[in-house]
Amino acid sequence: MSKQTNFSLFARGRRQTDDRLAARMSVADDAVLLLRHGQVESASQNVLTLFGWEPELCPGRTLSELFGLETYTLLDGLQTAAEAAGGHSATHRGLAVENADGDIVYVDATIADLRHDPDVGGTVLTIHDVTDRVEMERRIKQIEHHDPLTETANAAMFEVLLDRAMGSSGQVGVVS
């Protein structure tokens, strides 16, 4: 067999593996990016839903191009941690990311180093939208510490502020 034939068989096998991986990525509700050599190799259809990015435009781009420098720095740290753990994954919870419309989307981002897996051969970034959960937690905290009708601080908030003040080295006085 010639080198060209071997290369053609390898390329066809790689495309079939990539097609299987792309099919798995499209089933998940999460946005999934496959990274190879520091660039996006492929992106699931859900990057359109979550971030407003056309999946076909993601390949060839770096994470810093897609997410911006601050988010890229966090994701790069996750990738380094996953690689250092010998093929395990690392997760950052509640990461604030700006979508194509300029809105903030809160996500849990997990990076798994799967370079050793012959079916993947890269790093997989899985992004799960947790915006509703973050907003609900924020609303619960607001309700917990404020009167729902007047939006003024309630007794629970008073206790929090009093504890905080008493924790400082200064004196505290209360007038009722």
Q: Which two tokens stand for residue 94?
A: 């509640």
User: pLDDT tier at 2 (50, 70, 90 boundaries)?
Assistant: very low
Q: What is the pTM of this model?
A: 0.69
Output DSSP code: residue 75: H
pLDDT in tens, 64-119: 898 888 888 888 888 887 777 776 788 888 899 998 899 999 999 998 888 888 88
Q: Nearest-CA neighbor of 66 among 99, 44, 36, 41? A: 99
pLDDT in tens, 27-76: 568 999 998 888 999 999 999 999 999 999 999 999 889 888 888 888 88
Integer Cα distance of 174 and 24 in angstroms: 61
Handedness of CA 133, 138, 143, 148 (dihedral sign): negative
